[in-house]
């Protein structure tokens, strides 16, 4: 008990936000490490190597059959979601737009390099100890980064860039391990990452936030909110995410019916979520007005929940039901759960990732387990069942009911890694060596960014025209008065 008290006292000492040396050191050293590791392990796969010409002729293929032409459109969409969608979604704070979009950029740029290595060591290491990289690797690396960006949402405005680099280093490592266990060991299917990405990332970020609890965060409450233009910028992020989410959930599905079905299922889930979000937001707000927080976030919950069952035969009406429920759950979460968690559970969730990612991710995992367990040859056909659930090799004797149990086990693994890993990483980030801001200095770009001075207010054209018009009227009145005096 005494050791714990001493640790808390050490961690809660006066903050120093000067990262003049630590941030450059971390960036340069870690990027140098990436260069060395890529030099040792990373090579092009057969479809991106110059020997593709020989392979193509030997296998009687054409260039158009190169996987690049199938996967690159989806990769583009996912890449935009990571850098533009997530980045702008985090610009809603009135004085933290640079930190929202800029640190999102930093996390993603470092995270995708580390993800290529970590996932490569688990999934794509060949007989000569090299990782063969192709377009699908890039998509999976972006997925891996998404988990850390989700976690960042809970910590937005309260941590330093050095802490974010550490968060990403451990987050990518944990993600790669839990993904390998869920996908390869347990053999759960999770095309859109409801469990692997959203459940893990959500509870990872919430656990870290719980460990970094700030009892005096109310001292920065003046900045913990939005203004009109910051909400508009955040809505840009929402729209990018909403439009491209079908690509996100279908990007790594098998070519053909699985990828096609995943896009349709996600599309319908998202559409249904918007209507229920608007309904619940209006119902619980004074005079029926809409809350922009709900529209920016809860409208995306259907895409999260559709992830696990994206390529399953969920059926169009089933997709609408999932989206309908997620809009209600997510919006009510923002209204009731977020304040409750901050007051009673000591979890300060800046972006509300519990309502957008964590809860809908769990819902998606449950929907996936039920849908898998209820699959049948009548609905899928024998070949469709084998292809959809990958009942091949050592899993060739598996039946749908068993697959449903494996799906549920995968959800449990994601929760354990997210919560357990977040507590451990949070304890590391609590150390007073990372340059994080004081409780009265959060949610402010000036702590870590050169912020241009605000210009003096300049009259608009309309104001100028009104000024000129009033001046002309005054001069006209003066002239008329002068003429009247002259006549008299």
Residue 478: pLDDT band (50, 70, 90) is: very low
Mean pLDDT (whole number) for 83-98: 97
Helix ranges (H only) for 124-256 are 135-155, 161-179, 200-211, 228-250
Region 344-360 average pLDDT: 97
* Other Cβ atoms closer than 10 A to 166: 18
Query: What is the C-alpha separation between 211 and 138, in angstroms, rounded?
Result: 32
Average pLDDT rounded to a whole number, residues 391-409: 94
Q: How far apart are CA 427 and CA 421, in angstroms?
A: 10
* 475 pLDDT higher than 60: no
Return the closest-CA partner of residue 113 out of 72, 141, 137, 133: 141
457 vs 146, more confident = 146
Note the pLDDT of residue 469. Answer: 54
Rounded-to-integer distance, Cα 96 and Cα 16, Å: 19
Average of pLDDT values for 147-168?
Answer: 98
- The pTM assigned to this predicted structure is 0.91
What pLDDT sits at residue 129? 92
Mean per-residue pLDDT for 4-33? 81
8 A C-beta contact, residue 195 and residue 364:
yes
Domain residue ranges of the chain, discontinuous segments joined by +: 65-123+132-446
User: Which residue has better confidence, 38 or 286?
Assistant: 38
Partners of residue 261 on adjacent β-strands: none
Predicted pLDDT of residue 9 = 58
Residue 471 binned pLDDT confidence (cut-offs 50, 70, 90)? low
**What pLDDT shows up at residue 459?**
47
Average pLDDT over residues 204-226: 96
Which overall architecture, per CATH, does domain 65-123+132-446 show?
Answer: Orthogonal Bundle (1.10)
Q: What is the pLDDT of residues 417-437, one digit of tens each?
A: 999 999 999 999 999 999 999
Average per-residue pLDDT in the chain?
92
Percent of the chain with pLDDT over 90: 85
pLDDT digits (tens, 9 = 90+) for 227-249: 999 999 999 999 999 999 999 99
Element (H, E) at 42: strand 42-44
Residue 78 clears pLDDT 70, i.e. is over it: yes
- pLDDT, average across residues 266-285: 97
Residue 4 has pLDDT above 60, yes or no: no
pLDDT at residue 193 above 70?
A: yes
Does residue 273 surpass a pLDDT of 90?
Answer: yes
> How would you class 109 by CB atoms within 10 Å of its CB: exposed for 0-12, middle for 13-18, buried for 19 or more?
middle
What's the first-to-final CA gap in the chain, in angstroms? Answer: 98
Give the mean pLDDT of 157-172: 98
Contact 232, 241 (CB under 8 A): no
Torsion angle of C-alpha atoms 475, 476, 481, 487, degrees rounded to 10: 130
The Cα-based distances of 453 to 223, 232, 402, 446, 456 in angstroms read: 17, 22, 62, 11, 9
Cα–Cα distance for residue pair 236/357, rounded to 1 Å: 19
What pLDDT score does 16 carry? 86
Predicted confidence at residue 477, as pLDDT, reads 54
- Apex CA 240: angle with CA 101 and CA 418, to 5°? 65
Class of residue 269 by CB neighbours under 10 A (exposed 0-12, middle 13-18, buried 19+) = buried
Say what the pLDDT of residue 227 is.
95
Dihedral, CA of residue 442, residue 447, residue 452 and residue 456, to nearest 10: 50
pLDDT at 7 over 80: no
């Amino acid at each position: 008990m005494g050791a714990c008290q001493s640790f808390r006292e050490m961690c809660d000492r006066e903050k120093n936000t000067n990262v003049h040396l630590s941030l450059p050191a971390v960036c340069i050293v870690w990027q140098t490490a990436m260069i060395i590791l890529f030099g040792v392990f990373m090579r092009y796969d057969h479809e991106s190597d110059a020997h593709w010409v020989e392979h193509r002729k030997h296998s009687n293929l054409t260039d158009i059959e190169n996987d690049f032409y199938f996967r690159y459109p989806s990769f583009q969409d996912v890449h935009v979601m990571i850098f533009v969608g997530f980045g702008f979604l985090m610009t809603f704070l009135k004085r933290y737009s640079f930190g929202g979009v800029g640190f999102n950029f930093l996390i993603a740029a470092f995270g995708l390099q580390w993800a290529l290595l970590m996932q490569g060591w688990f999934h794509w290491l060949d007989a000569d100890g090299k990782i063969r990289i192709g377009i699908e690797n890039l998509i999976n690396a972006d997925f891996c980064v998404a988990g850390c960006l989700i976690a960042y949402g809970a910590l937005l405005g309260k941590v330093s860039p050095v802490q974010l680099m550490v968060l990403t280093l451990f987050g990518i490592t944990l993600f790669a391990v839990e993904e390998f266990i869920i996908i390869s060991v347990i053999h759960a299917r999770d095309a859109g990452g409801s469990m692997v990405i959203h459940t893990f990332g959500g509870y990872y970020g919430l656990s870290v936030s719980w460990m970094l609890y700030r009892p005096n965060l109310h001292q920065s409450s003046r900045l913990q909110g939005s203004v009109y233009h910051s909400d508009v910028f955040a809505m840009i992020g929402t729209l990018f995410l909403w439009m491209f989410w079908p690509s996100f959930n279908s990007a790594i599905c098998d070519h053909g019916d699985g990828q096609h079905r995943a896009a349709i299922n996600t599309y319908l889930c998202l559409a249904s979520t918007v209507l229920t979000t608007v309904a619940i937001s209006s119902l619980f707000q004074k005079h029926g007005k809409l809350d922009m927080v709900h529209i920016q976030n809860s409208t995306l919950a259907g895409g999260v929940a559709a992830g696990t069952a994206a390529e399953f035969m969920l059926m169009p009406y089933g997709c609408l039901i999932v989206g309908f429920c997620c809009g209600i759950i997510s919006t009510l979460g923002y209204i009731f759960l977020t304040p409750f968690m901050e007051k009673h559970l000591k979890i300060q969730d800046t972006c509300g990732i519990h309502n957008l990612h964590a809860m809908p991710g769990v819902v998606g995992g449950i929907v996936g387990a039920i849908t898998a367990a209820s699959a049948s040859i009548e609905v899928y056909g024998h070949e469709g069942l084998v292809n959809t659930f990958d009942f091949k090799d050592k899993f060739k004797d598996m039946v749908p009911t068993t697959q449903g149990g494996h799906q549920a086990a995968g959800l449990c693994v994601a929760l354990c890694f997210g919560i357990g890993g977040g507590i451990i990483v949070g304890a590391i980030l609590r150390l007073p060596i990372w340059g994080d801001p004081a409780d009265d200095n959060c949610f402010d770009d000036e702590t870590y960014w050169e912020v241009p001075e605000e210009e003096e207010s300049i009259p608009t054209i309309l104001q100028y025209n009104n000024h000129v018009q009033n001046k002309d009227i005054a001069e006209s009145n003066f002239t008329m008065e002068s003429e009247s005096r002259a006549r008299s």
